[in-house]
Amino acid sequence: MSRIGAYILGCAGLELSREERDFFERVQPWGFILFARNVADPDQLKALTAELRGAVGRNVPIFIDQEGGRVARMGAPYWREWLPALDQVAQNKRHAVRSMYLRYRLIAEELRAVGIDGNCAPLADIANPDTHPVLRNRCYGEDVIKVAEIAGSVAQGLVDGGVLPVLKHIPGHGRAVTDSHLDLPRVKTPARELKWSDFMAFEPLNWLPLGMTAHVVFDAIDRDQCATVSPAVHEVIRTQIGFTGCLMTDDISMQALDGPLSLRARSALRAGCDLVLHCNGELEQMAEVTDVSGWLEGAALERADKALTWRREPDPIDIAALEAEFQSLMTGGSA
């Protein structure tokens, strides 16, 4: 059996360069992730996903952040556009669980059509009045029980559509008042309060196949290191929350983290992450990450292999009927 790298990587543009193809063939990433820079139209995107799989010689999972709303790498005129999740939920709270299921079942159909079979959703982060705007309207609400219920329906919509869900941002990003893309958020909330609020939202979802960490410091657990690189927070994730799936970092190149990428990747894996996620597609940075991250093995390999068993053909659906039901719910109907 060939060795598989403990990382998920991006690529630079709309098609692979010769250097990228050779690099990916050599380092054998477990998966890939795409961004808006990689997306032009359906034909191009379908060709790129085929090219990525061809480069590694296997049916590698390919992910994207297609939440809808502000975070959508695929947009008009080729793909549907959506309200921010928080706005959709607020528009019809009574039917929020069903409408969010329909939203993500339709998104899954669009992803599969272009060769993408992983989506970085659902979010189980709890919105607060002072949650940073980069995250707040992407959340599903402020009530822990309702957020968990909606997040479960989002995950099911993706699974039914043949797409792997990625639960984020474990163990909770909602209390962050700074943007972790640019700075390191610090949460001072007591551990007991976190347990019964933010962390609790993830417990009913701990069976999902994949999760993504939060680049957030929780002073009550580890005041020196953010969750991604903190063994103490990983203990919370695995024991208190009970998450059993394969755990990837949030983008290791985000400015919330400091130090060289090699140190960030090594620290994340030592803390308990199974996979290092590197998103910007810069070849030199990817080489630095892959050199230190090594190959999947042991429990991490088992969890990664188990996650892939969730991949299946989509359930047959009537797209027009689902769209009609969604529109009915969003305009006050009860269909």
Catalytic residue among 250, 251, 274, 278: 250
Sequence-distant (≥ 6) Cβ neighbours of residue 125 within 8 angstroms: 131, 135, 138, 139, 147, 168, 169, 172, 173, 174, 198, 201, 214
User: Residue 105 and residue 111: Cα distance in Å, rounded?
Assistant: 10
Give which of 164, 220, 235 is closest to 188, Cα–Cα: 220
**What are the start-end ranges of the E strands in the chain?**
5-9, 29-34, 62-64, 66-68, 71-72, 118-119, 164-170, 186-187, 210-213, 217-218, 246-248, 276-278
Q: At what angle do helices 283-293 and 18-27 cross, to 10 degrees?
A: 10
User: Residue 185 and residue 176: Cα distance in Å, rounded?
Assistant: 5
Angle, alpha carbons 272-58-154 (nearest 5°): 55
Cα atoms in the 13 Å half-sphere on the side-chain side of 139 = 28
Is 181 an annotated catalytic residue? yes
Is 198 an annotated catalytic residue? no
Just list the catalytic residues.
181, 250
